[in-house]
Amino acid sequence: MTSTTSHQPQYVLALDQGTSSSRAILFDHLGNVVRIAQREFRQYYPHPGHVEHDPYEIWQSQLAVAHEVLGDAGVSGTQISAIGITNQRETTVLWDRKTGEPVGRALVWQDRRTAPMCEDLQAAGHAETFQRKTGLIVDAYFSGTKLRWMLDNYEGARARAERGELAFGTVDSWLIWQLTDGARHVTDVSNASRTMLFNIHDFRWDDELLGLLDIPRNLLPEVVPSSGEVARASARLFGVEIPIAGIAGDQQAATFGQACLRPGMAKNTYGTGCFILMNTGDKPVTSHNRLITTIGWQIGGNTQYCLEGGVFMGGATIQWLRDGLKLIHSAPEVEPLARQCTDTGGVVLVPAFAGLGAPHWDPFARGTLVGITRGTGGPHIARAALESIALQSVDVLDAMQKDAGISLAELRVDGGASRSDLLMQMQADLLGTVVVRPRVTETTALGAAYLAGLATGYWTDPEEITRQWQVEQRFEPKLSADERERRIARWHRAVDRARDWARESDDAAR
């Protein structure tokens, strides 16, 4: 058991395992960041469209930053009330139950190698079954087809799986297996809901879906609530056993960390892409506008659902200005450049460099820059790039409000690009809704910490979390309704020109 003494301050340790780096963040009782440690790890691109991670590198980097953050803060294991875990979602790991040895590299959520498998499932008429049971569209993004590919392509994997020798998990499962020396094989409902294998209505692995993907049930982890003591980290690692009491996929954790705890509350995380989630309450809302229905979190038998939409090119659009066009040397330079003009001069950028995400889902769309004249300069393109991030988010949020039948009162924001005041003002103007940036923007890790701390009594109830959430800045819409509608209509004209662009060249290549 974890021992404490009355004079020792207590903390919650959040392990935030992301796509490019592992982070550990120590939070105090007020939800403040005490210390952060971060370590990047290698990305593997063996073929076009293939993205892989070494599961050991994930684990070693995560353990290293956990030790680093405790050492830097001068905090011992006895002062950690709980560990919360949040993770890159859908990334798929397969390992040996006895040795803990990975069967091969993890397939990352970005990996597209199973797209043909997904097309086959759709052609066979299974898309409606998957959506009805899982809330997901059939896409290579999710874990189910990745696991099927591993079983079919890693040598001996299927036979070993059928003998019960292997374990499958998303990154949360892999970390917990390592933290507990192989004692616990679990995942929470939010991560399970991203696999294409989990029925989000009756909270179980679905036999029909397992059959469609030819996946043995004995591979799968036990599904547990997002908040609750489900395991204990080994004393070998931290000197004492520490409760692992919070688990959530990164975007669900960020939604919880933003205290979007009531139906109709929504957040947008502006990272490489943009991930927008709206709390829809205790019943799943089926999307009729090509969004994803997902489990947000489960606490004490109470499950909250969300609608989700993803924008592929958020901060990555700014990276393109830097690395592709060489308009800027670093990302923070985009705002001062864009402020050199008061509007885009009629220029619209549709950053469909890898197709369009929700609600369009057009893999054949390509990047388009329209409205250029002899007077167009770098500042106009920079401003159009920022507007494109806001406009893509508007499309998703409009679809969400239609699906949920809820008008958005405000949008809570986080992620690196949310630090741009100009982008946040554009978002408020084009959405016609107040945009609110919180004081603590480490919302993904904070959400995992809150879920863990609620389970151990470090925080008393969700209302305490709601009270801790504080506004740093509010951005009120300033555009007239007519001007907003004009800009959105112009954006949609540009999107129409970007759509389906690559299909002709694809067909010609065949």
Residues belonging to the binding site are 19-21, 23, 89-90, 141, 250-251, 272, 315, 319, 416
Give the residue numbers of the binding site for ATP: 19-21, 272, 315, 319, 416
Whole-angstrom Cα distance, residue 277 to residue 267?
6
Whole-angstrom Cα distance, residue 235 to residue 254?
29
What does the DSSP 8-state code read for residue 286?
Answer: P
Q: Which residues contact 231 (CB under 8 A, 6 or more apart)?
A: 176, 179, 180, 183, 184, 186, 243, 244
Give the residue numbers of the binding site for glycerol: 89-90, 141, 250-251
Q: Which residue is associated with the tokens 């939010």?
A: 190
- Cis ω before 216 (30° cut-off from 0): no
Give the residue numbers of the binding site for ADP: 19, 23, 272, 315, 416
Q: Which two tokens stand for residue 221?
A: 């982890």
- Residues 290, 479 contacting (CB under 8 angstroms): no
Give the residue numbers of the binding site for sn-glycerol 3-phosphate: 19, 89-90, 141, 250
- Cα 50 to Cα 43, 47, 125: the distances in Å are 10, 5, 26
Q: Which two tokens stand for residue 25?
A: 């963040």
Which residues are 248's β-sheet partners? 86
Whole-angstrom Cα distance, residue 150 to residue 300?
35
Whole-angstrom Cα distance, residue 179 to residue 186?
12
- Residues 244, 252 contacting (CB under 8 angstroms): no
Instruction: Please provide the DSSP assignment of 243-281 as one string.
Output: EEEEEEEHHHHHHHHTT--STT-EEEEESSSEEEEEEEE
**Dmax of the chain from CA atoms?**
73
Pairing of strands 80-87, 11-17: parallel
Length of the chain: 510
